[in-house]
Amino acid sequence: MKRKILQSLTVTSLGLILSFTLMTASAQENNNTAKGEMKTSGSEVKRAGTSAGHDVKHGRLVRAGKHFGRHTGRAGRHFGRGTKKATKKVVKHVIS
State pLDDT tens for residues 57-82. 999 999 999 999 999 999 999 999 99
pLDDT at 5: 80
pLDDT at 53: 93
Tell me the one-letter amino acid at 56.
V
pLDDT band at 6 (very low <50, low <70, confident <90, very high): confident
Same domain, 22 and 37: no
Same domain, 36 and 11: no
Please classify residue 27 by burial: count the beta carbons closer than 10 Å to its beta carbon, then call 0-12 exposed, 13-18 middle and 19+ buried: exposed
Same domain, 6 and 53: no
Same domain, 57 and 79: yes
Task: Pick the range with the lowest mean pLDDT from 4-8, 72-76, 92-96.
Answer: 4-8
Same domain, 23 and 49: no
Query: Measuring CA to CA, how many Å separate 84 from each of 7, 43, 50, 89?
Result: 53, 19, 28, 9
pLDDT band at 20 (very low <50, low <70, confident <90, very high): low
Tell me the one-letter amino acid at 68.
F
**N- to C-terminal Cα separation, the chain:** 68
Which structural domain, as residue segments, surrounds residue 1?
A: 1-30
Cα separation, 72 vs 77, in Å, equals: 9
Same domain, 41 and 78: yes
pTM for the full predicted model = 0.63
Tens-digit pLDDT profile for residues 26-41: 555 667 888 899 999 9
Domain count, the chain: 2
Tell me the one-letter amino acid at 41.
S
**Among candidates 40, 43, 47, 48, which has minimal Cα distance to 82?**
40
